[in-house]
Amino acid sequence: CRCCAEGRRHSSILYSILRSQEERAAPAAGPAPRGCPCGSRRRVALRSPQVAGKAASAVLVKTLRFVQNVPCFQELPLEEQLLLVRSCWAPLLLLGLAQERVHLETVESAEPSMLQRILTARQHGERPPAPAAGRPHHGPHLPSAGEIQAIKGFLAKCWSLDISTKEYAYLKGTVLFNPDLPGLQCTQYIEGLQREAQQALNEHIRLIHRGDEARFAKLNVVLSLLRSINANVVAELFFRPIIGAVNMDDMLLEMLCAKL
């Protein structure tokens, strides 16, 4: 296809776009505290959901603007662009939250437990609530403490590595250009772009962090942490408090087609 034919030319453009990012230092953060594993299924909520939601929305707009400003991404058909963004918006958002150093303060949910729901229903002669298929019912959409801790752990890992602006850009390029998605047509072109981003990251590390031979592997651990975080949890955590029922596909399509 046209994308694959022009892949070589635009991969160099991706390289130059990502390399143009300015360095920005950030103070390192300590590792995330480890909670008791037995409490990982508790339901928790953000202490200030409106504030966190607005911060996440601003980061999402900034992230999609970054994506739209990469010329080789614009060369893809709109269907391919949308497929890529739908599959990676959550990890891109989390990388943006880490880069902007957005901290999450959470509180344990005060909603009744499953046992309390059953006892209350029986006391009033109602039918006890049935748990949802595949997981216990703990209310409509509240994430568990374990799911929130996974996000906090990812953020803490990024901050402990003091990731630079260029490194964030290369990581975003690696996440965005995923050739393994079913339905893609320009797989060779996209695979080349992902490889270009990884090579640029490796080259940058060799130039700036000459004494840290393990840094490239550490940054790839960051990518593996991202893959373990469910996009639905991210949507419910940050966007349900401000827009209600979340349909991320519709929202992403509108934002992608708009001039951000």
CB contact at 8 A, 217 and 227: no
Instruction: Give this prediction's pTM.
Output: 0.74
* pLDDT at site 194: 96
Domain-embedded: residue 238:
yes
108 membership: H or E segment, kind and range: strand 106-108
Q: Name residues whose C-beta falls within 8 Å of residue 13's C-beta, 6 or more positions apart in sequence.
A: 70, 71, 72
Which range, of 61-70, 79-88, 121-130, 165-174, averages the lowest pLDDT?
Answer: 121-130
Domain-embedded: residue 1:
no
Rounded percentage of the chain residues whose pLDDT exceeds 90: 47
* pLDDT at site 196: 96
Parent domain of 102: 44-109+141-258
Averaged pLDDT, 102-119: 67
Number of domains in the chain: 1
- What pLDDT, in 10s, does the model give residues 88-100? 999 999 999 999 9
- What pLDDT, in 10s, does the model give residues 199-219? 999 999 999 998 888 999 999
* pLDDT at site 26: 41
Q: In CATH, what number is assigned to the domain containing residue 64? A: 1.10.565.10
